[in-house]
Structure formats: C-alpha cells, structure tokens
Amino acid sequence: MNKLLQYVLAGSLVVFSVGASAAELKVGYVQVDKILQEAPQTIESGKKLEREFSPRSQELDRMQKQIKDLQASLDKDGLTMSETDRRNKERDLSNLNLEFQRKQRELREDVNLRKNEELSVLQDRINKAVTSVAEAEGYDLVVYSGVAYASKKVDITDKVLKSLGKK
C-alpha cells in the first residue's frame, strides 16, 4: 500500500509540474495565406515573373493573330483560290496551330516551374521571419496551419508581415 501511495504522489507531482509549465508556454499563430497575399515579396515576385515571360506571351499573342488572319483569309477566299493554294494555306494553318499549342504548353510549364521556384524562396523568407519574430518576442511555439481556432492575441501574422517589410 505504501508503494501505491508513492506512485499516486509521484503521478500527481508530474501532472502538477506539466500543468505549471504549460501555463508559462507562449504560443503564436501565423496565417500563411494572408502572408502569401500581402507580403511585398509576393508582389515583387509576380512582377518579376511577368517581366520574365512577357516576351514569350507577346509572341503567342502575335501567333494567335496570325492564325486568325490566316483562317479569315481561308474562309473568305477559300472558294475562289485554286485547290493547291487552298491545301497549302490549310497546311500552313494546321502547322501554325500545332506550333502555337506547343509554345503555349511550354510557356505554361515554364511559368509553373518558375512560380514554384519563387514560392520556395518566399517560403524560406517567411520561415526566417517567423523564427525571427518568435525568438525576439520569446514564443515557445508558433503554428502555421491545421489549427481549428486561434484567438487574436496569439496571431502574430502582422508582426511577421512587418518583419518581411509590409506596414
């Protein structure tokens, strides 16, 4: 019986000490989606990608206009031109359409690849900013997502945004 009393006391002591240390725990929460929308780096990244892919996008616009013009010419003059000319124009139109679709697919793939690269860099910067804020303000735990509820007093999103250069 004496042994049982020792275990109960030891168990009570452990529960009490865990409860006491949990009361001192400083927890923070960060809204990643808000940071990704409002961080100045996100806007800069979007502009950078737009500048990078603008020439290829403009080339696709020109090709699309060329396809429309060729199609309009075929529709308008197709009945009056010779069979050989019509076949040649149809073949040119088909080749141009295939090239347009290929270039469009390549551009889309390249844009997605670069977006992912830029997002990775941004995520690293966000993680560093969160760590910086957490260490500077003495947080023991900062969570990103998977949280059912977080009160305003544990939300440090604005502080992280400030650390990233916003506000």
The residue extents of the domains of the chain are: 23-164
Report how far residue 125's alpha carbon sits from residue 45's, in angstroms, rounded to the nearest whole number.
13
pLDDT-derived band at 148 (thresholds 50, 70, 90) equals confident
What is the C-alpha separation between 5 and 28, in angstroms, rounded?
39
Residue in 139, 122, 145, 107 with CA at minimum distance from that of residue 45: 122
Average pLDDT over the chain reads: 84
Question: Mind listing the pLDDT tens digit for each residue in 12-33?
Answer: 434 444 444 556 889 999 988 8
Q: For residues 50 and 66, give the distance between their C-alpha atoms in angstroms, rounded to a whole number.
A: 23
Return the pLDDT at 99.
Answer: 97
Percentage of the chain beyond pLDDT 70 is 85
DSSP 166: -
| pLDDT tens digit sequence for 57-109 | 999 999 999 999 999 988 888 788 888 988 999 999 999 999 999 999 999 99
Whether 4 shows a pLDDT value over 70: the answer reads no
Alpha-carbon distance 21 to 150, whole Å? 20
Task: Give the predicted TM-score (pTM) of the model.
Answer: 0.67
Q: What is the pLDDT of residue 97?
A: 96
pLDDT at 151: 78
pLDDT at 22: 52
CATH classification (class only), 23-164: alpha beta
* Whether 22 contacts 95, CB under 8 Å: no
What is residue 96's predicted lDDT score, i.e. its pLDDT?
A: 96
